[in-house]
Amino acid sequence: MSSTPNFGLNAPQREAVKYLDGPCLVLAGAGSGKTRVITQKIQHLIEDCGYDARHIAALTFTNKAATEMQERIAKLLKDPKQAKHITVSTFHSLGVKILRQEARELGLKDRFSIMDSDDCFSIVQDLAITTDKQLVRRIQNAMSLWKNGLVDPEEAIKQAVTEDEAQAARIYRSYVATLAAYQAVDFDDLIRLPVELFRSNEAVRDKWQRRLRYLLVDEYQDTNTCQYELVKLLVTGLGKKPMFTAVGDDDQAIYAWRGATIENLKTLQVDFPDLKVIKLEQNYRSSTRILQAANAVIGNNPKLFDKKLWSEHGLGDPIKVMGMEDDEKEAEQVAIMLSAHRFERRAKFSDYAILYRGNHQARTFEKALRRERIPYTMSGGQSFFDRAEIKDIISYLRLIANEDDDPAFIRAITTPKRGVGQATLEVLGTVAGQWQCSLFEAVFKGGIEAKLTDRQLYPLREFCHFINQLEARASRVGPAGSGENAAAVLDDMMKEINYEHYLYDSFDDRAAQGKWQNVLDFTNWLKEKGTGGKDGAGDERNLLELTQMVALMSMLEGQDEDPDAVRMSTLHASKGLEYPHVFLVGVEEGILPHKGDPDAPAETIAARIEEERRLMYVGITRAQRSLHVSWCKKRKRAGESVVCEISRFVKEMKLDEGDAMPTEAEQITPQNRLASLKALLQKPRAA
């Protein structure tokens, strides 16, 4: 019998850790310790059941979650080094791993390229022959949903009902062919292609099944059709007992818009009839009042699995609901209340979060926080390095540092345009595939002259010579290749590519000016770093060293220690996080729940309201100790003042029933509040 340690685990958690007789679904309510179950189960598999760490995989949805999980496992294991051998990764990282090792089976070269969404945007824009960015995004979105739903182009064309759908499906067909010609894959292919490979190649599938003998899946409710298929293909086979644990919560399924399907929870019971279901209902995060409100709201949704969260944290503070005059007043009041609340509780700024339904609500709150001198950080905002104009310049630097970087090659040669079109690049991609080399190298391969005209070949070779010259200057060691020279190389590069001219040609004056300013800020910052920083005390760096530094910075950005600041975040981005004190703002009809299409079929509207309700549930359950809910009586929309209505979800919280209502002692008068604040001010602050 196993000797799993019992400390720190309640009875259902212990059962989930120990269960190894087949497939297992752990329904883990918000704050119920699901990560603990996954990490301790991995420890149990290795130390009590004799599993080799190399044969275990844990899949999650974000790099941050994967890193944290790996660190927690290392702390649990007697030999922490074993944690490195476990595959703890996102679905996409596992997909990359499979594709890198099996590229040839799919007709890809070993060093295939992964296109980012900007690269893909440009391809779709060229194929659709349009400058309408909204249309391109819609087509991109449709293609992503098709790929995640495992719908191939021919099937998408057959299923098309309207002309718009048919056009998107035809572009999808050309897009798939273009990527194949480039020897490239996009983000969605990282899971789709391994699924197609496992379906068609039994030997490869068997190899990976032998390699990954126990699978754990976190946030299972967020899987799409393609991800579920990958899980299924990894755990099922002739005479094979499916060995996996899926951990999820049907009440927190909030990603239907990106193809995630709650149906996967239902399907699991059909595909695996002997599925063991274990519920985790004890919440370790929130007070009883917060959980009662969350249970009351989610109780209005039809249930796949019935569960009720409970806590031993006591009743906690009453939940406050505040109706505000308008959105500016709401932001102003929230900032003042947050400041007073923090003062009273002697709390830190980082104990607070302001959560909203959409990014457009953030601006007013940012203004109000700045006015009150409250530091804040934003989740989900765009990083400087993610701006298209910065990525354009970086693509040239990446290519100078590594001419085999195919996505950088494609981006640099097409932005600004240098007389190289889609057809030329497709031929180049084919040659690169035949020779198993980079696109850059393929430009100089024998036989390419027969496939391209001089008019097509000349700009290609011209561009490559230009990159080679820059590389020779960028990598030179000694004074000639560092310091000032990095600046000189950079200036010559910018002059040659004439990027400013391209911006003013492509965007209106105001947008072009903003983008060009960003580019200047970036290049000036690079030059400064090349000459040893602001004070000149650091090391001089050549352009190659600067490029490596930028690559690392853009990868690590956002991984710094969290500052002492209020966290502003959309509800979607807040999932999985927790805060002592939460302000849930803009809780009105039309915002939460989101308006959606009023003419949609009744079942579509009902499904949307259910998803919005789950979003409200996620918002409520982020709070540990106190929750403030605010809504506006009026709100400015397109310059006009519109009357708003409090969200139906507030009524569903049942705050006027039972022990949710504040007691007499909890109802503080304004005079008493003022007196207690004065008393606080007179108390000496703790050192």
pLDDT digits (tens, 9 = 90+) for 35-73: 999 999 999 999 999 999 999 999 998 888 888 899 999
pLDDT digits (tens, 9 = 90+) for 523-576: 988 888 777 666 665 667 777 777 766 765 554 444 444 678 899 999 998 888
CB 574 within 8 A of CB 353: yes
Q: Distance (Å, rounded) from C-alpha 112 to C-alpha 672?
A: 68
Q: Which two tokens stand for residue 319?
A: 């939940």
**How much is the pLDDT for 679?**
62
CB 633 within 8 A of CB 643: yes
Q: Distance (Å, rounded) from C-alpha 279 to C-alpha 29?
A: 8
pLDDT digits (tens, 9 = 90+) for 250-277: 888 877 777 777 888 888 989 999 999 9
The pairing of beta strand 24-28 with beta strand 276-280? parallel
pLDDT digits (tens, 9 = 90+) for 76-96: 999 988 988 999 988 988 998
For every residue of 424-490, DSSP letters joined together read HHHHHHHHHHHHT--HHHHTTSTTHHHHS-HHHHHHHHHHHHHHHHHHHHHS--SGGGSTHHHHHHH
Read off the pLDDT band of 246 (50, 70, 90).
Answer: very high
Instruction: Count other C-beta atoms under 10 Å from residue 197's C-beta.
Output: 18
Q: Distance (Å, rounded) from C-alpha 117 to C-alpha 197?
A: 24
Residue 279 dihedral angles phi and psi, to the nearest 5°: -100, 135
Stated length of the chain: 687
Q: Is 383 helix (H, G, I), strand (E, B) or coil?
A: coil
Judged against a pLDDT cut of 70, whether residue 335 lies above it is answered with yes
Q: Distance (Å, rounded) from C-alpha 444 to C-alpha 435?
A: 11
Cis peptide before 416 (omega within 30 of 0): yes
CB burial of 447-459 (b: ≥16 within 10 Å; e: otherwise) equals ebeeebeeebbeb
- What's at 123, amino acid-wise? I
Residue (of 374, 325, 357) closest to 564 by Cα position? 374
Q: Mean pLDDT, to the nearest integer, of 604-610?
A: 90
Dihedral sign from CA coordinates of 674, 675, 676, 682? positive
Residue 583 CB contacts under 8 Å (≥ 6 apart), including other chains: 334, 337, 338, 352, 353, 354, 355, 628, 630
Read off the pLDDT band of 306 (50, 70, 90).
Answer: confident
Q: Residue for token digits 């299409």?
A: 597
Q: Distance (Å, rounded) from C-alpha 491 to C-alpha 507?
A: 23
CA-to-CA dists, residue 308 to 8, 27, 428, angstroms: 21, 11, 59
Which range in 303-307, 332-336, 534-538 is most confidently predicted, on average pLDDT? 332-336
Q: Which residues are catalytic?
A: 34-35, 218-219, 252, 622
Dihedral sign from CA coordinates of 70, 76, 81, 87? negative
Q: Across all residues in the chain, what is the average pLDDT?
A: 86
Task: State how far Cα 316 lies from the chain centre.
Answer: 33
**Between 184 and 386, residue with greater pLDDT:** 184
Q: Distance (Å, rounded) from C-alpha 78 to C-alpha 81?
A: 9
**How much is the pLDDT for 158?**
93
**How much is the pLDDT for 481?**
42
Residue 171 CB contacts under 8 Å (≥ 6 apart), including other chains: 124, 127, 128, 139, 143
Q: Is 381 helix (H, G, I), strand (E, B) or coil?
A: coil
Read off the pLDDT band of 386 (50, 70, 90).
Answer: confident
Residues forming beta bridges with residue 356, ordered by sequence position: 570
CB 311 within 8 A of CB 286: yes
Q: Which two tokens stand for residue 610?
A: 């259910």
**Between 582 and 101, residue with greater pLDDT:** 582
Residue (of 378, 382, 383) closest to 569 by Cα position? 378
CB burial of 607-634 (b: ≥16 within 10 Å; e: otherwise) equals ebbbbbbbbbbbbbbbbbbbbbbbbbee
Judged against a pLDDT cut of 60, whether residue 685 lies above it is answered with no
Which range in 378-387, 404-413, 579-588 is most confidently predicted, on average pLDDT? 579-588
The pairing of beta strand 282-283 with beta strand 310-311? parallel
